[in-house]
Homo-oligomer: A and B are copies of this chain.
Amino acid sequence: MAKRIIVIGSGAAGMTAASAARKQSADAEITLFTEDEHIAYSPCAIPYVIEGKIPDFESIVMHTPQFYKEKRNIEVRTMTKVTSLDVDKKTLTTSDGQAHTFDSIVLATGGTVFMPPVEGVKLKGVLPVRSISDGKAIRSMMADTRSAVIAGAGVIGLEMALALKHAGKQVTVVEMFPQVIPRIMDKDMADLLQEHIASLGVEFVMSAPITAIKGKERVEAVVAGGKEYPCQMVIMATGVRANLELPNMIGLDVGALGAVRVSATLQPYRKGRLVKDVYLAGDVIQCESALAPGPTMSQLGSSAVRQGDVAGTNAAGGYATYPGVASAWVSHLGDVQAAGTGLSKGLAEYYGIRTVEGIGKGLTKARYYPGGKKIVVKVLADAATHRLIGAQIVSGEDATGRINWLTAAMLKGVSAEEFGNAFENAYCPPTSMVKDVVNVAVEDLLTKL
């Protein structure tokens, strides 16, 4: 009899899991439930629709439920909540009152934007950026918004700040930490980025946790660090927490970072014992770091796709494992790209690792070739083993390939010495310096060892 597979969640993890299950098994019966109205879109694209770079939200939807039905024989039920779940009896019920059985299940329930518990957080105009519905709500309120406050200077916060600035709004970013992109970027690199974004007209209020949001019906001001910032819109870019409603319902173990703890096969644990026929993927899980012994959160679209692949393959009877992650990330912010991979200095300290760092500064093209953009590369090595464990880039262009290059070296445990000795760079005057700035950064690091 054909295997019955249920997937819950329609983000990158869920959609990929369903497709991977189909690749693994031609005859499985695959059903996907999602509370969302839209499926198969990248939340990372929302700021660009707000900005107007992408014309509408329809453009970022890669596929419809019809596509999945017709091309992959996957049944997708939108706006359907799973109201009860029993993984021992292998049954669930949905908000439409129907009961379903399954042989295996993938939970890709994602995350929810953390709303700080302050006065006024439920006022009209206080909005997260997570779903297309959020994006549409933001867009519809923009007409009568003159000033916006972005709560949180992480990647999505900065992208939204620039999107709204570009749309002609006055924008203030309020951040509780003393730097932008806290946690995953070091302050020296973050400051370069902040300086650039400030030069485009975005205001920053740093080291200022939000203590209240004021207004009658709609938001009128944000209070942070003892001052009031008038605004008609607050974008909550305050981090994403794992959506634990279903995992809690079935008693799955939650790890140290507040997300579901999983095995390499992406199976959860219950009271320390592996749970059969249940797989998880995406923002709901914590993973293992590839750079330090310990758990990490990897809330990235690229990670969700890979996890979905593993979870779906296993759910359909195949065998795949998800390795430790470096969580390589990149963002395009104004005229620069910011990227990082592995551990920042702060994250390394969290894992008890002492670091040595190197900086490379230069251009993306040969010095004499017109149009070269400034690029700064920072690399971090473990002071004991000399292994490369982290890197960050702020560059006018071409950060993505460079950060993937460094990620590859880090995943293989390459030391600064080995990178310096053996890791070649391709060169031609229009695309790099004869010694790429990545190599320059590693050479600088080598002088500190």
Give A residues with C-beta under 8 Å from B: 12, 42, 44-45, 48, 53-54, 59-60, 62, 290, 300-303, 305-306, 320-321, 323-332, 337, 339, 341, 366-370, 397-405, 407-409, 411-412, 414, 421-432, 434-436, 438
- Alpha-carbon distance A326/B424, docked complex (angstroms): 8
Q: Tell me which residues across on chain B come within 8 A of A404, comparing CB atoms.
A: 401-402, 405, 423-426, 436, 438
- Alpha-carbon distance A368/B414, docked complex (angstroms): 36
Sorted from nearest, which 5 A-B pairs have the closest CB atoms? A401-B401, A332-B430, A330-B426, A328-B426, A408-B408
Q: Tell me which residues across on chain B come within 8 A of A45, comparing CB atoms.
A: 366, 368-369, 429
Verify A302–B42 contact, CB threshold 8 A: no
Q: Tell me which residues across on chain B come within 8 A of A436, comparing CB atoms.
A: 400, 404
Verify B42–A426 contact, CB threshold 8 A: no
Given A404-B438, A412-B414, verify A369-B53 contact (CB < 8 Å): yes
- Looking at the assembled complex, report how far the CB atom of A39 sits from the nearest CB atom of chain B, in whole angstroms: 15
Verify B435–A302 contact, CB threshold 8 A: yes
Verify B421–A323 contact, CB threshold 8 A: yes
- Looking at the assembled complex, report how far the CB atom of A285 sits from the nearest CB atom of chain B, in whole angstroms: 16
Q: Tell me which residues across on chain B come within 8 A of A320, comparing CB atoms.
A: 421
Q: Tell me which residues across on chain B come within 8 A of A341, comparing CB atoms.
A: 424, 426
- Looking at the assembled complex, report how far the CB atom of A299 sits from the nearest CB atom of chain B, in whole angstroms: 12
Verify A434–B42 contact, CB threshold 8 A: yes
Q: Tell me which residues across on chain B come within 8 A of A326, comparing CB atoms.
A: 424
Given A42-B429, A401-B402, verify A62-B367 contact (CB < 8 Å): yes
- Alpha-carbon distance A366/B299, docked complex (angstroms): 18
Verify B429–A44 contact, CB threshold 8 A: yes
Q: Tell me which residues across on chain B come within 8 A of A328, comparing CB atoms.
A: 424-426
Verify B327–A435 contact, CB threshold 8 A: no
| 20 pairs, A vs B, C-beta closer than 8 Å | A12-B434, A44-B428, A44-B429, A45-B369, A48-B429, A62-B367, A302-B434, A320-B421, A324-B422, A329-B428, A332-B428, A332-B431, A401-B401, A401-B402, A404-B436, A404-B438, A405-B407, A407-B424, A408-B412, A412-B412
Q: Tell me which residues across on chain B come within 8 A of A323, comparing CB atoms.
A: 421-422
Given A404-B405, A404-B436, A414-B412, verify A368-B59 contact (CB < 8 Å): yes
- Looking at the assembled complex, report how far the CB atom of A308 sits from the nearest CB atom of chain B, in whole angstroms: 11
Verify B44–A424 contact, CB threshold 8 A: no
Q: Say which residue of B370, B407, B434 sits within 8 Å of A301 (CB atoms).
A: B434
Closest to A443 in B: B309
Question: Given A327-B424, A400-B401, A404-B423, list of 10 further CB < 8 A pairs?
Answer: A53-B369, A290-B422, A302-B426, A323-B421, A328-B426, A331-B428, A400-B425, A401-B402, A403-B426, A405-B408
